[in-house]
Amino acid sequence: MTDSVRVAPTHELGPQRLRAVREMLDVAFRGGFSDEDWDHALGGVHAWVEDERGVAAHGSVILRRVLHGGRSYRVGYVEGVGVRDDRRRQGLGGLVMAELERVIDGAYVFGALSASEDGAGLYAARGWRLWEGRIEALAPDGIVHLPDEEGSVYVRSAGGRVLPSPAAAALVFDWRDGDVL
């Protein structure tokens, strides 16, 4: 059987498939995928693989606003990337990421994501680079430094555009409930 990736915006997945994706992510993240994490993964474009057992892999890309050096950027932010345990190390994460990167290339200035230790190798192998500068968020009370996020944020040029320079300024992400990144 050849694995193929499906791609669709959130509103086209329907309640049954959305439920199946959420269940797979809950298991893949071993209970560490919160309601806020799920909310963050919705409203953009999803890429997923299904097999005879159901959803085997998933990821989505959503719009985030990021300030850098006095400019606001439309950024494709990757969320909810997971692969079912029995299908790991079979290339499904790469298949999903290839589709998400295609969306980023066509719709955003650059891509960004926050990688777990387990996922960092996949992203680095695909050309995503670790952001070596400061990470901040535009919180309700103003800009706050997020030192715990530094060292886990990866960025990727979209369509050959030049990435912002970490030396020039911090990446300041829009605020949201739960994990900001």
The CATH homologous superfamily to which domain 5-174 belongs is Gcn5-related N-acetyltransferase (GNAT) (3.40.630.30)
Query: DSSP 3-state assignment of 52?
Result: coil
Tell me phi and psi for residue 35, to 5 degrees: -60, -35
- At 139 the pLDDT is 96
Give residue 59's identity as a one-letter amino acid code.
Answer: G
Q: Convert the pLDDT of each residue in 85-109 to its tens digit.
A: 999 999 999 999 999 999 999 999 9
The secondary structure of 122-175 as a DSSP string is HHHHTT-EE--S-EEEEETTEEEE-GGGTTTEEEEESTTPPPPPTTT--EEEEP
- Kindly state the percentage of the chain with pLDDT values over 70: 99
pLDDT at 3: 84
Each residue of 14-52: pLDDT tens digit?
Answer: 999 999 999 999 999 998 999 999 999 999 999 999 999
Provide long-range contacts, Cβ within 8 A and 24+ apart, for 62-68.
63/108, 64/112, 64/173, 64/174, 65/173, 65/174, 66/112, 66/171, 66/172, 66/173, 66/174, 67/138, 67/171, 67/172, 68/164, 68/168, 68/169, 68/170, 68/171, 68/172
* Residue ranges per structural domain of the chain: 5-174
pTM: 0.96
CB contact set of 73 (below 8 Å; sequence gap of 6+): 65, 66, 67, 109, 110, 164
